[in-house]
Structure 1
Amino acid sequence: MTDQNANSAPAATPDIIYTLTDEAPMLATRSLLPIIKGFTRAADVSVGTADISLAGRILAAFGLADDDLARLGALTQDPAATIIKLPNVSASLPQLKAAIAELREKGYELPDYPDEPATDAERQVREAYDAVKGSAVNPVLREGNSDRRAPQAVKAYARTHPHSMGAWSPDSKTRVATMDADDFRHNERSVVVPEAGTVQIRLVPADGGEPVVLREELPVTAGEVVDATFMSARALDEFLARANTAAKADDVLLSVHLKATMMKVSDPLIFGHVVRAFFPRTFNTYGEVLAAAGLRAEDGLASILAGLDDLPEGERIRASLREEMAAGPRLNMVDSTRGITNLHVPSDVIIDASMPAMIRAGGKLWDADGSMDDTLAVIPDSSYAGVYEAVIEDCKANGALDPRTMGSVPNVGLMARKAEEYGSHDKTFLIPADGTVEVVVTAGTGQPAGTVLLSSAVEAGDIWRACQAQDAAIRDWVHLAVVRARATGAPAVFWLDPERAHDRTIASLVERYLADEDTTGLDIRILDPVAATRLSLERARRGEDTISVTGNVLRDYNTDLFPILEVGTSAKMLSVVPLMNGGGLYETGAGGSAPKHVRQLLEEDYLRWDSLGEFLALAEALRHVAQVSGNARATVLADALDAATTTLLQEERSPARRLGGIDNRGSHAWLALYWARELAEQTADADLAARFAPVAEQLGAVNEQVQAELVAVQGHPVELGGYYLPDPALADAVMRPSAALNAIVDAL
């Protein structure tokens, strides 16, 4: 974890750590961070960086770079920690392999990813890469629970400048298809471990053979909630076949909505089932040929198509896929102009982005002709599918929500210490044989060794997983909900499903820990997710706010769903994570649209990424610095930044959608001007006012020139020297093309 100042001597931990990530956020950082460093330096606030990008994590895994993520994880235990975390790639396997290939081309001596490791060395390589895959960053950094809400300035802007909302028809055919049995929700079992100890996860084969150890040792803490569940492969395939038939019969688009990035073991496996279900004849005929060539349904249709040229049967397989595509239901398109279907790439399937976008568009998604149509939204596991179905039903009955009048649905989310499903990756398994999976005590826990805590009768091919939620994290979550209810006066609703074993356990703990809190005068309820959705929508239509208090996955879903309807994008949310040891983690919005923004930059030298989330996070981070360090100037910087952000919104200086307008770099230039003016005009710190008065004058004098320079570069392809690890000089040249702006910023 280093400051970006070259050749500087080792120093104390900077006041603020700004993360270097991937794709559009990473590119935007190259433009924004010099501005941030210049302004904060004047107030004696130091800003350092930590590389948590996919490329950086891969290199660190093999000793070719410092492990900034591990160092940052350790820093979360420091009460003074102040971390600004930008969206990073939660890598699917195709993304991981692409990044490995790029790094090897750049000369890094990295091993290939072993799909079928056969030796101990290959298994170690696979383990190292798998630790990088998927949501490797968030579980390390999220040592606190989540407080996400739309800032007042953002909400006010949405009401005066409402974003477009598609019209809903009561006759819309759009609906959700989900499993009604034998999925994760219905098969769940839950237990509270009385004392700290260790457990083992093992498969006892049905044929009476020796148990197969799936996880040798799993530590548990006193009072920890441990769950076990599985999805039946047989039931999943039957459900998917019915969904395909239903979409064809209703003549609607078939769309699948998963999260193969965050749920990096289970959801790619489910995605593979979806691909095989859509092309049953092809996989029945050529499945063994494809498998022998390493072409897996789990990696998506694009990966399979790309590998067919090397197969003798390639053209026959391609023709078979084409025939089944024509005969099956129409597919939702991720990019109709490029022929990218919903089944092409697993990392393109991001439910918390795709479902709200469909709802905002009046229940419609894109088809192959570039038109929009109704859809059968396939969400295999029923745990949270009812939330989306409830919103669809509400919109059919009442029409689209109105951002000019609707209330807000902020969120308090349980996510600390790898809570719940997002911490399940190292405890998720593809079951190799029929039998019973057992979670067995090996030591401690207040129970004899050999005690079976949880068991699941499974079949070969089923997807089994265990989840954990620590008692301290649950207590902190309940307390944070009370704090937010007290601060806002809004009702706080715990979204807990009495039909789920885990949620029943959590509900009992919520009731216990609420008794330890002062809830006088507060409206705090526990409702099942569907009822909670309906209540929140009913209140939102009246202009009233309702705090959703949810588990980890619903936190992710709700903090996209409601913001996309309220303010147009989840990137405009303020995301604060009060770390349990006193530090602060400030997250900057969603990165689901980042790949298409990079594509546009490469083709047109135009970056549409909106850094508003970074502006909001930085202001809160500065306030935390003031609190822990006593540096009052940090508060002055924060207040001025908030005022500048409000002006930027009201003056519509955020990135436009098309060439010729303000892009990300132009927005940063406007922010620098507004921030300098606010600092020059504030009266809380005369020295800062004097310091920034000439800066504001200089920026104002060259503003037209700066904006002209930034527009002048647009419309041409650019070269970055890499996607996952761009060449620094090339990236800086692209992201800082205004000599006039650079001269003023660098002089700070």
Structure 2
Amino acid sequence: MKIIYTHTDEAPALATQSLLPIITAFTGAAGIEVELRDISLAGRILAQFPDRLTDDQAVPDALTELGELATTPEANIIKLPNISASVPQLKAAIRELQGQGYAIPDYPDDPSGEDQADIRARYDRVKGSAVNPVLREGNSDRRAPQSVKAYARSHPHSMGAWSADSRSAVATMSDGDFRSTERSVAVSEATSARIEHVAEDGSVTVLKDALALEAGEILDAAVMEVAALRAFFRTQIKRATEAGLLYSVHLKATMMKVSDPIIFGHAVETFFPELFEPTGASAAELKAAGYRANDGLGALPATVTPTYEHKPALAMVNSDRGITNLHVPSDVIIDASMPAAIRTSGKMWNAAGELQDTLFVIPDSSYAPLYSEVVEDCKAHGAFDPATMGTTPNVGLMAQKAEEYGSHDKTFEIAAPGSVRVIDTVTNTVLLEHAVAAGDIWRACQTKDAPVRDWVRLALSRARATGAPAVFWLDETRAHDAEILAKVRDELAAHDTAGLEIKIMDVAAATRFTLARARAGQDTISVTGNVLRDYLTDLFPIMELGTSAKMLSIVPLMDGGGLFETGAGGSAPKHVQQFVEENYLRWDSLGEFLALAPSLELLAEKEAKPRAKVLADALDQATSRVLEENRSPSRKVGGLDNRGSHFYLALYWAQALAAQGADAELAARFTPLADTLAAAEATIVAELAAVQGGPVEIGGYYRPDPVLVAAAMRPSGTLNDALSRFVGAAREGAAA
């Protein structure tokens, strides 16, 4: 078993150039192999077009390789945050790669002919949440490590002050959305299905054929009715205008790569209806330019200027640069934007760079009650106190593309009125059916039986280990949840739950229960489906710890291996911007530190390598010291940045290894490095600080030049030399 470390995108990818040499030096000295695999957006794009690249440009399909590895007991993967690309991001990456000499084709918005259809299909395998469904062959155990939680309590981050007079509120649909139209069925026997559209004249179009369903699998279908959606947006625009609130749309246009960009496009069109009047001059210009509202205001032709008169003020992503909430779909990431607003007094930024009460517009009502309840709780009781609040770990159902995040290949924008139905092709019976109108968004989701049962077992395991109540966030009145609940209750009955507090609550009730306990300093395990897992593991960590990047995220893979995720990357683009402008990387690699320790522990357990456990224990000690001695990156130039935190991790890790008594030979091997780094501390810190303040060239955003990045991320010759000599000595020792 090898440890596979992933090369991803943006700030995490920059940090890898500094941290990975330290990791490989330390693990190599203990006889442990760590290998890098490129699953970055650029790498995934290039892997789709081997027929268009030269031999020296060819890129292996690392994601497919790791997906296969994840289904084996040998899997030990450390997965860093990656770009879940929206179409504008995908197009930007394509342009950059073309400029670097890669002869890949343009992205066809409206493919015509077999060649363009093939190109579009290849790119569609890359965009959106292409990585996580492939690698997540297990359910999620995500929690704040004790050392991190203790640090947050003793060094609480700032929280905005809430007022009972706050007019901020959450708006969501009550009818015609995915939640209200959802239908669900569990199949008793393995079968095959076909999704088809039946037009009003009786003509049938097959949308997807040969959909395999396992015995016990749950199949859901739901439709977002476009007429209801647009009416909802218009109502909320009027409401925000009359109330003087910022208008802010919150979606997941990255992970929900098919449905949510379409919803985003309707948000743009309803906010600027004058641009899209069929007989207007703007509409003709937009059509001639090939503009799609799904791509946002940022893609508007320069000749078209939207008007903001007689409309509510838009929430801003970047007030200084004039980037609104409707500029780029990939900026609209609900699990990042809502916690940030909740932390900041329930307000968002307006065009003047000031905080203002906001109408949070969340179209689908499936999970909107989570945020509505938090907003109302903070109005009533004020901001949460990180120094006293309890912790809310999560056990998330996500294995084998469970639930909505596996819907992409079964999501369709309906071309004509009629119905969409799912046909069991073995029995020739209708499993699910919806009446649809042109423009409606219809989607189907699958949830297999084995992941649900594994999820229940994982929840019980965490409840036993912690003594905290485990709350299943499930709603009897929702079609999908009712099917899940039948399996949950069946699985619970098969286990000894004596002494465990197990609860089942809908989203609103579970939120209220958990918030009350958190305010009382009590811990609660949230046991949720895939989307709520995403939302909760940003919301509560941002309130508790200041960031979700400090969470420990373990995915025990169902076939025996392990996937170790390193936290959220929502702030990664801003960190890259700061790095390029100031040669200062604020990204905190704590998530990587936390993920490496259990990865080493898995290796020790599976391969009977005691030195891996020694490394893991010493790494835990080093990580605690990084926190306790405030060696995490600071926010501004002049302080310790990402590279400095890596140096201190190396120093503390080497010192812990030199001092441990479990392996005298290993201690002796690390003692000279610990002494060298300690003696050179002032010099190394000065070398790292000396490069700060000016711009730095990295040769690209999506595929930066590795030589330039390595030089920028490893500017301390003293540290580099110390590691190089240590690696050489370790090799000589191993050879002897």
Tell me the TM-score normalised to structure 1 length: 0.95
Matched with 2:324 is 341
CA positional deviation for 1:422: 0.4
> Which secondary structure does the structure 2 equivalent of 1:199 belong to?
strand
Q: Which SS does the other structure have where 2:661 is aligned?
A: coil
Tell whether the 8 Å contact from 1:228 to 1:467 is kept in structure 2 after alignment: yes
The aligned residue for residue 22 of structure 1 is 9
Aligned partner of residue 216 in structure 1, secondary structure: strand
Q: Distance in 2 between matches of 1:89 and 1:728?
A: 18
Mapping for residues 201-280 of structure 1, pairs under 5 Å: 201-208=195-202, 210-280=203-273
Aligned match of 2:287 in 280, 285, 291?
291
Following TM superposition, by how much is the alpha carbon of 1:508 offset from its aligned partner in structure 2, in angstroms? 1.5
The reply to whether residue 577 of structure 1 matches residue 555 of structure 2 is: yes
C-alpha distance after superposition, 1:681-721 (max 9, x if no partner): 11111111111111000001111111111111011111111
SS at match of 2:546: coil
Q: Within the alignment, does 1:373 sit opposite 2:356 as a pair?
A: yes
Q: Deviations over 1:261-309 (max 9, x none)?
A: 00000000000000111101121123343133211110010011xx23x
Q: Tell me what 1:413 maps to.
A: 396
| 1:34 maps to amino acid | P
Residue 492 of structure 1 corresponds to which residue in structure 2? Answer: 470
Distance in 1 between residues matched to 2:454 and 2:11, nearest whole Å: 33
1:103-118 aligned at under 5 Å gives the runs: 103-118=97-112
Q: Which amino acid aligns with 2:648?
A: W
For 1:484 and 1:160, how far apart are their aligned partners in 2?
Answer: 25
Q: Distance in 1 between matches of 2:287 and 2:231?
A: 22
| 1:680 is the counterpart of 2:673 | no
Q: What aligned pairs does 1:305-320 form with structure 2 within 5 A after superposition?
A: 307-308=301-302, 314=303, 317-318=304-305
Letter in 1 for 2:147: A
Question: Could you tell me which amino acid in structure 1 is paired with residue 586 of structure 2?
Answer: R
Q: Distance in 1 between matches of 2:605 and 2:120?
A: 44
The aligned residue for residue 190 of structure 1 is: 184
Q: 1:102 aligns with which of 85, 96, 105?
A: 96
Q: CA deviation at 1:80?
A: 2.4
| Deviation at residue 77 of structure 1 after TM alignment | 1.7
Equivalent position of 2:507 in the other structure? 529
How far apart, in 1, do the equivalents of 2:476 and 2:498 lie?
Answer: 26
- Mean Cα displacement is larger for which, 498-507 or 389-398? 498-507
What secondary structure does 1:179 align onto? coil
In structure 2, stretches of 5+ residues that fail to align are 51-57, 728-736
Q: Does 1:539 align with 2:520?
A: no
Please tell me the residue identity of whatever aligns with 2:285: V
Q: Which residue of 1 aligns with 2:453?
A: 475
Which amino acid in 2 is paired with 1:158? A
Cα offset, 1:326, TM superposition? 3.0
2: CA distance, partners of 1:670 / 1:283: 56
Q: CA deviation at 1:504?
A: 1.1
Whole-angstrom distance in 2 between the partners of 1:678 and 1:291: 64
**Aligned counterpart, 1:145:** 139
1:30-79 deviation per Cα after TM superposition (whole angstroms, max 9, x unaligned)? 00000000001111111001110001101111123111100101111221
Q: How does 1:36-47 map to 2 (within 5 A)?
A: 36-47=23-34
Distance 2:283 2:408 in 1: 27
| Residues 146, 411 of structure 1: 8 Å contact kept | yes
Give, in whole Å, the separation in 2 of the partners of 1:142 and 1:562: 22
- Name the CA distance, whole Å, in 2 between partners of 1:166 and 1:333: 18
1:129 counterpart (114, 123, 146): 123
Measure, in 2, the Cα distance between the counterparts of 1:746 and 1:384. Answer: 51
Distance in 2 of aligned mates of 1:492 and 1:292? 56
Report what 1:452 is aligned to.
430
User: Is 1:81 the equivalent of 2:68?
Assistant: no
Q: Give secondary structure in 2 for the equivalent of 1:338.
A: coil
Q: 1:50 aligns with which of 4, 15, 37?
A: 37
For residues 554-703 of structure 1, what are the structure 2 equivalents within 5 Å?
554-703=532-681
Q: Deviations over 1:191-226 (max 9, x none)?
A: 001111210100001232x21111122111110000
SS at match of 1:185: helix
Letter in 1 for 2:244: D
The amino acid that maps onto 2:556 is P
Q: Which runs of 4+ in 1 moved over 2 A?
A: 285-289
Structure 2 CA distance for aligned equivalents of residues 297 and 688 of structure 1:
60
Aligned residues of 1:586 and 1:621 also touching (Cα < 8 A): yes
The corresponding residue for 1:8 is none
Q: CA separation in 2, counterparts of 1:72 and 1:226?
A: 27
Tell me if the contact between 1:34 and 1:746 (Cα under 8 Å) persists in the aligned partners.
no
Question: Where do residues 419-430 of structure 1 align in structure 2 (5 Å cutoff)?
Answer: 419-430=402-413
Distance in 2, matches of 1:685 and 1:300, equals 58
Aligned to 1:727: 705
Aligned-pair CA distance for 1:498: 2.3
What residue in structure 2 maps to residue 179 of structure 1?
Answer: 173
Q: In the alignment, residue 17 of structure 2 is paired with which amino acid?
A: R
Q: Which AA in structure 2 matches 1:482?
A: L
Give secondary structure in 2 for the equivalent of 1:135: coil
Aligned-partner residue type, residue 385 of structure 1: A
> Within 2, Cα distance between the matches of 1:98 and 1:226?
36
- Name the aligned partner's letter for residue 267 of structure 1: D
Measure the CA separation in 1 of the matches of 2:687 and 2:212: 57
The answer as to 2:147 corresponding to 1:160 is no
In structure 2, distance between residues paired with 1:292 and 1:269:
20
**Structure 1: how far apart are the matches of 2:562 and 2:437?**
44
Q: Are 1:508 and 2:486 matched, yes or no?
A: yes
CA displacement, residues 58-107 of structure 1 (integer Å, 9 cap, x when unaligned): 11111231111001011112212110000000000011011111111111
Q: 1:80–1:625: 8 Å Cα contact kept in structure 2? A: no
Residue aligned with 1:327, SS = coil
User: In 2, are the aligned partners of 1:403 and 1:567 still within 8 Å (CA)?
Assistant: yes
Percent of aligned pairs with the same amino acid:
63
Contact persistence 1:24–1:609 (CA under 8 A): yes
- 1:54 alignment partner AA: L
Tell me the C-alpha RMSD between the 2 structures. Answer: 0.8
Structure 1, residues 607-638: CA drift from partner, whole Å, max 9, x if none? 00000000000001000000000000101100
What is the CA–CA distance in structure 2 between the aligned matches of 1:687 and 1:303, rounded to whole Å?
60
Count of matched residue pairs: 716
